[in-house]
Amino acid sequence: MEARLNPFTNPVLGKVFKHIVAAGKALDGSTLPASTQELVKLRASQINGCGFCTDMHFKDAVHAGESPERLNLVAVWREATVFTDAERAALELAEETTRTADAAGGVPEHVWANAAEHYDEDQLGALVGVISVINAFNRVNVMLQTPAGDYRPGQFS
């Protein structure tokens, strides 16, 4: 199985990818915990049906020390007891943002307020950035039908 287009060899898409990657790099050094960022990336990727990103962020999170048990429960985070209240707030914000088309009016105020209880303004900015960037990557990879399963942690470092 091959992707419809290779974003690394297609000149136009390559430029677009460089900008999306740069947007993601802007989050380096954020005080938003890296584990929270990976949980959010994994959940958005699951919702969007992006096999490549689901594979990538699961493997990157495990490589960084996250437990496979917690990652396995991301899809059912509401029922799982392994997440902190702050992680739950981040996952809820990621879900509501990713599913914007499913609910008129966008992200409900109570979801934003819940996130704001657990994260300061800089962390909220990082959370908005992480959710936005992963949704962009998900949509590109779903559109291109990028195959999943062969990612190696750090492959794009």
Could you tell me if residue 25 is inside a domain? no
Distance CA 39, CA 60 (A): 11
CATH of the domain at 114: 1.20.1290.10
Distances (CA, A) of 145 to 5, 63, 88, 136: 9, 25, 30, 14
pLDDT of res. 105: 80
Residue 137 structural domain: 32-144
Residue whose token pair is 């990652």: 71
Residue 136: predicted pLDDT? 97
Residue 139 lies in a domain: yes
pLDDT digits (tens, 9 = 90+) for 76-133: 999 999 999 999 999 999 999 999 988 778 899 999 999 999 999 999 999 999 999 9
Tokens 């287009």 locate to 5
Number of structural domains, the chain? Answer: 1
Q: For residue 86, what are the contacts with CB-CB under 8 A and spacing of at least 6?
A: 36, 118, 119
